[in-house]
Amino acid sequence: MRRIVLGVCVVATHVVVSAGLPLHAGQLQGVAAKTMPLLYDRVRAVGSHLDETLDAGDVPYANLAEMASRAPVIVIGRTRGLRSRLAADEVGIATEIALSVQECLKGPVPPGSLIYFRVPGGFHRFPDGRTARQTLPGFRSVRTDATYVLFLRPIPPARGTPAEVRDRRTIRPYRAEYELAAGDQGRFELQVASGTVVPAPGGMDHPLVSRYAGMSVTDFLVELSRAVAR
């Protein structure tokens, strides 16, 4: 269960208000979506801009083996572009990232393909100029033109919605096909220049950070290969 902590900024008066509201992880669906006001209504209630802080809420994973056993798709790829959009239920924001797949370690994703995955949060501007931003503190943002190992799972298509035709040659409005199987823990940046690994969590108290931060890319991929083979 994710939790949103509201940091509300009323631009006209510079008033800041805080509160806590429970929301579902990622897309804010299900029961939470039925009880939570629409994002636009929350923005309008406070003025012209709303800042919300997402709580990851996920149980920390200890190692790659745990994550690999729960992820149906594991890929290595380079991010090519991203865009934020209002979620389908209009309660939250999701950022969708285009990824050029370099290698697939698990699952039916061919190398060289372009896939899209989503992460919770982002920035959205409504037609009347009102804006909202949702962030996930304690986690590094996804960077473009960076190489990542991603632990993914397919997003089930919405009922009654026809399959969407995607143009694989350019970054255009799209709907993500995947989401992170372990929440935002499920992404590791491989820094080619330094040859080291950067986990998504930022705090050293996270087990994935204490175990893998600064590890050589070679050693990381060897452990990952063994984890996938189990």
Q: Distances from the Cα of 175 to the Cαs of 10, 47, 132, 149, 153, in angstroms?
A: 31, 30, 20, 21, 15
Task: Return the number of other C-beta atoms located less than 10 Å from residue 143's C-beta.
Answer: 13
Consecutive H or E run containing 51 = strand 49-55
- Token representation of residue 27: 């897309």
Domains of the chain: 2-55 (no CATH), 64-122+138-229 (2.40.50)
- Token representation of residue 213: 């931060």
Q: How far apart are CA 19 and CA 149, in angstroms?
A: 35
| 149: nearest Cα among 203, 68, 209 | 68
- Reading the chain (230 residues) residue by residue, the pLDDT tens digits are 344 444 434 333 222 333 333 333 443 444 344 588 999 999 999 999 999 999 877 789 999 999 999 999 999 999 999 999 998 889 999 999 999 999 999 999 999 999 999 999 999 999 999 999 999 999 999 999 999 999 999 998 755 444 443 444 444 455 789 999 989 999 999 998 999 999 999 888 999 999 999 999 999 999 999 999 98
Q: How many CA atoms lie within 13 A of 26 on its CB side?
A: 16
